[in-house]
Amino acid sequence: MKKVQDHYFHKARKDGYVARSAYKLEEIDQRHQLLKRGQKVLDLGCAPGSWLQYTAKRIGESGRLLGIDLQAVAISLPPQVEVFQTDIYELDRSGAWWENSFDIILSDMAPQTTGIRAVDADRSYALNQHALWLAEQHLIKGGYLLVKAFQGAPFQRLQQEFQQMFAEVKICKPKSSRSESVEVFLLGKKKQESQVKEEGHLLQS
């Protein structure tokens, strides 16, 4: 295990986070000032829960945080946090949550990896297409979307789609990401007017 991994692993245990990934979000948040008290936030791919822990602290008791993941989140969370164990492709559109609008959508989702870089990049792209569609439906105008993406052939296309929806687009590689990892984070800032025609397909300009 590399020293950087040891450092963040032990730091997470000391700080009470269930996973070291909390520091990826913390670094991006500190650099771009994403999270504020009282915000409504949607966290996609929220298990095991470190992003929920960090975000809950930042938005405070007056905020609201909704997490979604296929896996259960087995940690204690404050009252402003609600977690649904479900597939993002099978969300209950009749539920009360569907009418909500969010200030920020976070996604640390990653596909089941195969070790074949092109395949994994395509699968990551498909997940992020759905995150973009959810942002079109549920992100307020001026809101932010942060997703994890794998570097590869579809990444440039994903950037272009972000540029259609957001006034600013940033690529983030936190220091706590493993140096050998192909993951980066794509941040869309200040959502603009609607650009999505149907689920998973952006209008071409």
| In contact, 164 and 174? CB cutoff 8 Å | no
How, if at all, do strands 201-202 and 196-198 pair? antiparallel
Task: List CB contacts of 35: < 8 A, sequence separation 6 or more.
Answer: 29, 41, 55, 58, 59, 104
Asked if the peptide bond before residue 48 counts as cis, ω within 30 degrees of 0, the response is yes
Reference 145, options 39, 47, 34, 56; nearest CA is 34
Active site annotation includes 148: yes
Query: Tokens at residue 31, please?
Result: 């650099």
User: What stretches of the chain adopt beta strand conformation (E)?
Assistant: 40-44, 64-69, 81-85, 102-107, 139-150, 166-172, 183-191, 196-198, 201-202
Q: Which of 2, 57, 141, 148 is catalytic?
A: 148
Query: Tokens at residue 161, please?
Result: 């789609």
Query: Tokens at residue 93, please?
Result: 């559109």
Distance, in Å, from the CA atom of 203 to the CA atom of 192, rounded to the nearest integer, reads 13
Give the catalytic positions in this structure: 148
